[in-house]
Amino acid sequence: MDHLVSASLLTADFGNLHKEVIMINRSEADWLHLDIMDGVFVPNISFGFPVIKAVKKIAAKPLDVHLMIIDPDRFLNMFSEAGANNLTVQYEVCTHLHRTVTEIRNLGMKAGVAINPHTPVSLLKNILPSIDMVLIMTVNPGFGGQFFIKESYSKISELRKMIDSGGYDVLIEVDGGIDTLNAVKLVESGVNVLVAGSSVFSSADPEKTISRLKKLI
């Protein structure tokens, strides 16, 4: 399949959120990415259910929601009701990961598992048959605008081999420092979904930047 682009709202202008979402609607982005932070798992707080529900009302693209929170099981149903299409949880906080991703799927959402830069992809071997996507964090989570960790390429290649050898229908998503300079190599390494925030919203023409990420030019 062709790669997807998930435009992240984390670095958007929250004073003009409606305008930013409408821009993403017009763009060639495939998904709209929302990072949910609790100030505990990561040293930052982003936004909660009222914002997600407001975005859902105007978004024409599926909501790709990444939970950077502890004890996500308490809120799975609420994220489903708020309009999440994809729901990704952090491997590092889920004591009973299989139970969590099974519940996400039972609620009608695609289930994803994210890993931090220090977490090896080998730990995902037994969960791959039960999920739809792996999100490899290519920066330390918590803030936008960080530099891409180059060691991520080897993790992506290793995960790609694991997925292909097992015959799993699992997407590889990457988030952190993604731009038009590294997008081609990332897709060539096996990435299916590029999450881009700062490179989009800090550019002079966000729609054009999304188009370049989509077309790899």
Catalytic site includes residue 73: no
Using the structure block, give the residue that is written with the tokens 């881009």.
196
153 vs 139: CA distance, rounded Å? 12
Using the structure block, give the residue that is written with the tokens 């694991």.
162
| 3-state secondary structure string across 114-172 | EECCCCCHHHHCCCHHHCCEEEEECCCCCCCCCCCCCCHHHHHHHHHHHHHHHCCCCEE
Greatest extent of the chain over all pairs of C-alpha atoms, in Å: 46
Q: Of 30, 38, 64, 175, which is the active-site residue?
A: 175
| Confidence at residue 217, expressed as pLDDT on a 0 to 100 scale | 83
| Domain spans, the chain | 4-215
| Confidence at residue 1, expressed as pLDDT on a 0 to 100 scale | 59
| Confidence at residue 25, expressed as pLDDT on a 0 to 100 scale | 98
Q: Which amino acid is at 136?
A: I
> In this structure, what are the phi and psi dihedrals at residue 64, rounded to the nearest 5 degrees?
-105, 95
CATH superfamily to which 4-215 belongs = Aldolase class I (3.20.20.70)
Residue 52: closest CA among 26, 78, 71, 70: 78
**Helix, strand, coil fractions of the chain, as percent rounded to 5:** 45, 20, 35
Catalytic site includes residue 35: yes
Q: Of 30, 35, 38, 132, which is the active-site residue?
A: 35
**pLDDT truncated to tens, each residue of the chain (217 aa)?**
599 999 999 999 999 999 999 999 999 999 999 999 999 999 888 989 999 999 999 999 999 999 999 999 999 999 999 999 999 999 999 999 999 999 999 999 999 999 999 999 999 999 999 999 999 999 998 766 678 999 999 999 999 999 999 999 999 999 999 999 999 999 999 999 999 999 999 999 999 999 999 999 8
For residue 154, list its beta bridge partners. Answer: none
Q: What is the CA radius of gyration of the chain?
A: 16
